[in-house]
Amino acid sequence: MKRRRLLVVLGLLLCMMLFVGCSEKGSSNNTENNKGNASENNSSDGGNNSENEPKEEITMRFWYPGDHEAVEERLKEVFPHITFEWEDIQVVNAYKETIEEQIAKQQLPDIMILTDYSLSVLKGYDMLFDLTPFIEKHELDTSDWPDYRIKAMHAHKPDDDGIYSLPGQLTYHGLAYNKEVFDKFGVPYPTDDMTWEEVIDLARKVTGERDGTQYRGLDIALDPQMVGMLDDWLVNADDEVHFENREDVNKVLSLIREVASIPGNIPDNGKEDFFDPWSYGIYNERNVAMALHARYIAKGLAESAEESDMDFDFVSWPILDKDNPTQPYTDGTFYAISPYSEYPDEAFKVIEYLISDEWIQDSDPLDYNMEILKNKNMEAFTRHPLNVPDGRASEHQVTGRWLFGKTANKIIYEGIDINTAIREAQEEAETIIKDAKGSD
């Protein structure tokens, strides 16, 4: 039951994004004509410009992976003249067959929710749409955006030419802890701004057996979080692999090995996988003292705690560099317009609302409007900025990210030394990417 609820909560990251629908397009087979219509049509400014005049009733299709009902009512209040039609489609490789079916049927979207490498998928279907003219036309103000949000906007573009998506909610991280475990071991609770060394030392003190139960000090739930601490991309915009000769890669892998080396701290999951987000022993088994935790699943921890009366709280993500305290950049919600939309101006206004402070604060409040979270240290999740590397990443960054976790597991479970494991990861990544590009 708890695990099923956790899977639902994990899905909220995508669900807390946006809506949009569909426009029953004409059956034109001319791609360039469709794109021309998108750039020339201005449904909000064409005709009568008076704000007092009723707006044209339109229908828009939204490729929205997740439960759209959570946002549809609110959007309908803001855009009463738009009827949204929803398609549960993710712009990722796993959905290529579905995407191609929609293209063949000419059931093309107006708005899409994207993840980190979705733009590369869209490029393959000639579905990139430069938002720069609309940013200028609608005077979108990004002056108060934090630097990491600007970097995230550019990080996953397939080229340097335009701006093809705008960031909404980005994923923030912290460290959750179970006070009961610390009390059982007689150890003080963690605090904000602790370093990795301090957190690992604390984990040693709360790892061990008590009353027939094996307690683990620290759970590293997701390997992308660890990759998100690196100073630069593992695969850059030129598809060059950079595992080797990097102090940060060695340092983060060394931290993971040190956490795993604490006697009794490796999860007993039968998988030889140190990154086990589906277990979450901190509240499923309640035998974990601390767990690296994404903010968007705080609700899952809260709901479990309400059922079991568990006493928990959060502190900030462990600091890797005292002079530059950050938290990892992993992913987020991005919005894009299809070049086939008949209503690009209206679509942009919808996106502009979805990335606004008003929407983000209302749809993703830090306490999720749950009483149990109102007295928790939710500010810990935004205490430090996201660590977004400079420049663009390759679409094959996802390959590097996957291999990083695989490499860490080889170090932990096979006893391979770090330098050897890094060299093997470099070679494997280069081979995989070369083969992938050869099949393009």
Rounded CA separation 246/418 (Å): 12
Arithmetic mean of pLDDT over the chain: 87
**Residue-level pLDDT at 47:** 37
Domain annotation for the chain: domains and CATH numbers: 2-170+331-364 (3.40.190.10), 173-328+374-438 (3.40.190.10)
Instruction: Identify the weakest region by mean pLDDT among 13-17, 120-124, 194-198, 377-381.
Output: 13-17
138-145 — which CB contacts under 8 Å span 24+ positions?
A: 138/345, 138/348, 138/349, 138/352, 140/166, 140/352
Most confident of 27-36, 79-88, 263-272, 295-304: 79-88
The answer to whether the CB of 130 falls within 8 A of the CB of 361 is: no
- Number of helices (H), then strands (E), belonging to the chain: the values are 18, 12
pLDDT of 36 > 60? The answer is: no
Give me the DSSP letters along 95-123. Answer: GHHHHHHHHHTT---SEEEE-TTHHHHHH
**Residue-level pLDDT at 52:** 59
Residue type, 388: V
Rounded CA separation 71/64 (Å): 11
Q: What is the pLDDT confidence band of residue 366, given thresholds at 50, 70 and 90?
A: confident
Q: Can you tell me the mean pLDDT for 192-200?
A: 98
Q: Can you tell me the mean pLDDT for 120-140?
A: 96
**Residue-level pLDDT at 37:** 44
Q: What is the pLDDT of residues 291-327, one digit of tens each?
A: 999 998 888 889 888 888 899 999 999 999 999 999 9
**Residue-level pLDDT at 89:** 95
pLDDT of 125 > 90? The answer is: yes
Rounded CA separation 278/301 (Å): 13
**Residue-level pLDDT at 73:** 85
Q: What is the pLDDT of residues 202-224, one digit of tens each?
A: 999 999 999 999 999 999 988 99
Q: Can you tell me the mean pLDDT for 346-361?
A: 93
**Residue-level pLDDT at 51:** 54
**Residue-level pLDDT at 279:** 74
Instruction: Identify the weakest region by mean pLDDT among 2-11, 231-240, 391-400.
Output: 2-11
